[in-house]
Amino acid sequence: MTLPDSTKVPFGGDYNPEQWPEEVWDQDYRLFDAARIDTVTLGVFDWAMIQPAADVYDFTILDRIVARAAAEGRGICLATGTGAHPAWLARAYPEVTRTDFEGRKHRFGQRHNACPSSPAFRRFATELARRIARRYADTPAVVAWHVGNEYGGACYCDRCAEAFRDWLRARYTTLAALNAAWYTRFWSHTFTAWDEIEPPPALTEHWRGPDHTAFQGITLDYLRFMSDALLGGFLAEKAAIRESSPDTPVTTNFMGMYRPIDYHRWAPHLDFASWDNYPPDDTSPAWMALAHDLIRGLKDGQPFWLMEQTPSVTPCRDVNPPKRPGVMRLWSWQAVAHGADSVLFFQLRASRGACEKYHGAVIGHAGRRDTRVFREVAQLGAELDQVGAATLGARTPARVALLFDWDSWWALEMSDGPSRLVRYQQVVLSYYRALWEAGIDVDVVAVTADLSNYQVVLAPALHMLKGDLPQRLEQVATRGGSVLATFLSGRVDEDDNAFLLDVPGPLGPLFGVRIDEWDARGPEVVNPVLLQFGSERLAADARLLFELVIPQGADVVGTYQSDFYAGTPAVTRNPFGAGAGWYVAAGLDQAGVSWVVRQVCEPHGLTGRYPTVPGLETAARVAPDGTRLLFLLNHRAEPVEVTADASGVDLLTGRQVDRGRPLRLEPHGVVLLREDG
């Protein structure tokens, strides 16, 4: 089962008519008509309304909401309503609320905060999902089920401790195996009974917050366990839905690069992936592109849904600028360019009270259509209508894979080591950005993904090596591909214990180096790196981390220029099979990273389309009938003019574009080229 059936990109978003009298619904639907909004996500936080008491279910209002949306011809993404639990539930069953990392037992309040090990929560949430599905499964307007909302966080209560022990028993079978995996001879931690095992919050193994643990193995397993425990809630609701709705696809909305949950562990259980795009600031197009590609990679490159984005403001930060004119449209097309088969907002109408009353919305408090935001939404709605089915189901023709691994992320950032300033997301983003700036399509995939179709595999900060990954990376190089890894790769096995080998452990033969030691310095210290490959040269800067490399067959591509290791290798290339293994030992600046990635990709004919035009993003998709779609996205506030490198029709304007002729993009402009034959 894959995505909901559709004849065009579904357009709309979260809609909460239960907060309003029905006269307002009339106004909403006329505005939805004007903006060509065809899809509404309903009931994400309706639990207390539907079930006002343990033994009372009241569907009066939801029935009317669903019937109205159906009568208006809208597709419905129907939620199970379990993103926030009702006050009566928390009062009757105190176990429902979580115990936090600091050990504080929470009381009723906020949302997304039920203990995943609470039997009462599981029972009531599942029953709610069951009843909602039973009631609306035969409503043809319901195109998808939306379970919970933005699963996340963690609980450290006694029930979770029990469930953790069960999870560990299933994983290790014996205490001897667990003691070995956790390396418990260290600091007298040998466990002699399962009941002695504690979760690892601030009261036990941690100090100075979640990144500082005495036992990485324990914390790592708790993160894996918690990811699985929360998944258990999703699976129970999904199973309850399936009792009456065998065919309608089920999803839950992810959050991109969200550290607490390993989305690769969840992905097989979703019928299609979806996510909420709230970039950290308004200057992050590469970050968004990476997140889109990561979500697309969850289901083997299958398109996903953009479940939420704000039409203008996200109000929860300290300073909250609106999206500038054209930016909402640009970012919507960026999502489509990277594989989104929907464009949905949070939210369609602004709520009147509580913490999201100033959140961006298609319809504001005054209900006007003559606002900038509404106009831009309506314009996008018209464009999506016009483009119709052209992009649906289209796949990304990437020849490059970038590995993304939650275990490596967790292990790297919770380990005392060279530097707390080296952050996994930043390292991954810098290598992704090199591809993104060049305009090279990339799949962001799990370490378990099939790598046999890629010419280039980038593995930034591949701290942990699991399973047969080293062999599969070697196979990429053996058949002529290139593999790149960076500092802090190949350090630990899947229990987070160091390899009893030279660094980079089992990756040593592929990269032809051994790392003798590291140097780590504050961000103010620069060690210049001179890069040279063929006739290409660059003087780059490196910061934060400098591994000291002793080549074991690899050729030197870059050398450090200062300190006691001046003249020694910072970047190497090892011929391996018909291909090569590149190792970047230094924290190169973006210019350096981009230079190295270019040298890696060029021999494979992977050069990108407009690599020298800053701010111009390109992305390709190939429709199921083989039609090639090329997206050009101008992230700058100035116009850009390039020489077109492909011919076809711009589906947004109907204009013909000819290869070799000038092609102009307006500030924040978009071209969606359907390439000729």
What length does the chain have? 677
Distance in angstroms (rounded) separating the CA atoms of residues 588 and 526: 10
H or E element that contains 412? helix 406-413
Closest by CA to 272, choosing from 50, 65, 6, is 6
149 touches which of ligand GLA, Zn ion, none (CB within 5 to 8 A by kind)? ligand GLA
The residue among 126 and 149 lying less far from ligand GLA, judged by its C-beta, is 149
How far, rounded to the nearest angstrom, does the alpha carbon of residue 20 sit from its chain's CA centroid?
A: 33
241 touching Zn ion, by CB under 5 A: no
Question: Is 538 within 8 Å of 592 (Cβ atoms)?
Answer: yes
What minimum distance in Å lies between the beta carbon of 114 and Zn ion?
9
What minimum distance in Å lies between the beta carbon of 355 and ligand GLA?
8
What minimum distance in Å lies between the beta carbon of 90 and Zn ion?
13
Show the tokens assigned to 157: 């209560």
Size of the site for Zn ion (CB under 5 A): 5
157 touches which of ligand GLA, Zn ion, none (CB within 5 to 8 A by kind)? Zn ion
Among 42, 79, 115, 593, binds Zn ion (CB under 5 A): 115
Catalytic-role residue among 150, 237, 376, 437: 150
Show the tokens assigned to 596: 């190295």
314 touches which of ligand GLA, Zn ion, none (CB within 5 to 8 A by kind)? ligand GLA
Closest by CA to 592, choosing from 643, 536, 630, 640, is 536
What minimum distance in Å lies between the beta carbon of 469 and Zn ion?
33
276 touches which of ligand GLA, Zn ion, none (CB within 5 to 8 A by kind)? ligand GLA
Q: What are phi and psi of 241, to 5 degrees?
A: -65, -45
205 touches which of Zn ion, ligand GLA, none (CB within 5 to 8 A by kind)? none
Catalytic-role residue among 308, 383, 437, 617: 308
Distance in angstroms (rounded) separating the CA atoms of residues 419 and 521: 8
The residue among 373 and 600 lying less far from ligand GLA, judged by its C-beta, is 373
What counts of helices (H) and strands (E) characterise the chain?
A: 17, 27
Long-range contacts formed by 100-108: CB under 8 A, 24+ apart:
100/155, 100/156, 100/201, 101/154, 101/156, 101/201, 101/202, 101/206, 101/209, 101/210, 102/201, 102/202, 102/203, 103/156, 103/201, 103/202, 103/203, 105/157
545 touches which of ligand GLA, Zn ion, none (CB within 5 to 8 A by kind)? none
115 touches which of Zn ion, ligand GLA, none (CB within 5 to 8 A by kind)? Zn ion
117 touching Zn ion, by CB under 5 A: yes
H or E element that contains 286? helix 285-298
CA atoms within 13 A of residue 4's CA, in its CB half-sphere: 28
- Give Cβ neighbours of residue 222 (< 8 Å, ≥ 6 apart): 154, 164, 199, 200
Q: What's the CA angle centered on 391, arms 42 and 618, to 5 degrees?
A: 110
The residue among 278 and 518 lying less far from ligand GLA, judged by its C-beta, is 278
Q: What is the DSSP letter of 19?
A: G
What minimum distance in Å lies between the beta carbon of 107 and Zn ion?
14
**Interface residues with ligand GLA (CB under 6 A)?**
149-150, 276, 278, 308, 314, 346, 356, 359
What minimum distance in Å lies between the beta carbon of 215 and Zn ion?
20
Question: Is 307 within 8 Å of 276 (Cβ atoms)?
Answer: yes
Q: Which residues inside 139-178 make contact with Zn ion, applying CB under 5 A?
A: 155, 157, 160
The residue among 307 and 586 lying less far from ligand GLA, judged by its C-beta, is 307
Residue 357 identity (one-letter amino acid): K
Determine the residue with CB nearest ligand GLA: 276
223 touching Zn ion, by CB under 5 A: no
150 in active site: yes
Q: What's the CA angle centered on 136, arms 130 and 142, to 5 degrees?
A: 115
117 touches which of ligand GLA, Zn ion, none (CB within 5 to 8 A by kind)? Zn ion
309 touches which of Zn ion, ligand GLA, none (CB within 5 to 8 A by kind)? none
95 in active site: no
What minimum distance in Å lies between the beta carbon of 312 and ligand GLA?
11
Closest by CA to 99, choosing from 119, 83, 113, is 113
H or E element that contains 61? helix 60-71
Catalytic positions are 150, 308
Q: Note the residues at the interface with Zn ion (CB under 5 A).
A: 115, 117, 155, 157, 160
